[in-house]
Amino acid sequence: MEITGADGGLLTGSAVSALILAAGNSTRMGKDKATLPFGEGLTFSSNLIASYLQLKCNPIVMVVNDRFDVNFPLNGARLVLNKHVDKGRSFSVWLGLKHVAGGHSCFIQNIDNPYADPELLNQLIAGIRPERYAVPVYNGRGGHPILLGSSVVDELQKKNQIPNLREALDEFVRFEVPSEDQRILLNINTPDDYLNFRNPGG
């Protein structure tokens, strides 16, 4: 697969990685969100992995906590264990980025949002440059996933820690990609959220 970057150069799939954040305790949901049924025989995690495999991202890293069933089928993803989930999402990002090769751009995807639409992913890649990160935006609101440029990834990897990802990204250029897909704003955290997701308007 070859994807044309914003500067006209070719960005191959091997130069793009994906990081799926799934280390939260899912206290409000009461069940690991990575294993929730998505539909068509897929789970939240397997749907995301399939989407990033289609894009030929390598590696695909999924950060989980120590209660995750390591025998759960996740073909195509590399599991990274977060033993300190109390340190929050940004710590998972920091852990996961350690497994991304130098010079790679990297998608950051929350398991709370099980969608990774190929068209949107390609739009994000088309807008990326090494020194910036791309964010899909719906009606003025930033959504997921975001895509870090290769220089952004390299600089974050050099940090001893990332206590707050949003503040860390303030050091870089933000590039917004308009989207008409409201699903980029999904944040499924509770059983009611999940019911609405499986039966919208029901």
Tell me which DSSP letter residue 2 carries.
E
How many other CB atoms are found less than 10 A from the CB of residue 88? 16
Residue 63 predicted with pLDDT over 80: yes
Residue pLDDT, tens place only, 68-116: 877 777 788 999 999 998 888 999 999 999 999 989 999 999 999 999 9
Residue pLDDT, tens place only, 114-148: 999 999 999 999 999 999 999 999 999 999 999 99
- CA-CA distance, 195 to 29, in Å (whole number)? 11
- 138, β-bridge pairs: 141
Nearest residue to 96 via CA among 106, 86, 87? 106
- End-to-end, the C-alpha distance of the chain in Å comes to 40
Structural domains of the chain, ranges and CATH numbers in brackets: 2-198 (3.90.550.10)
* H or E segment to which residue 126 belongs: helix 118-127
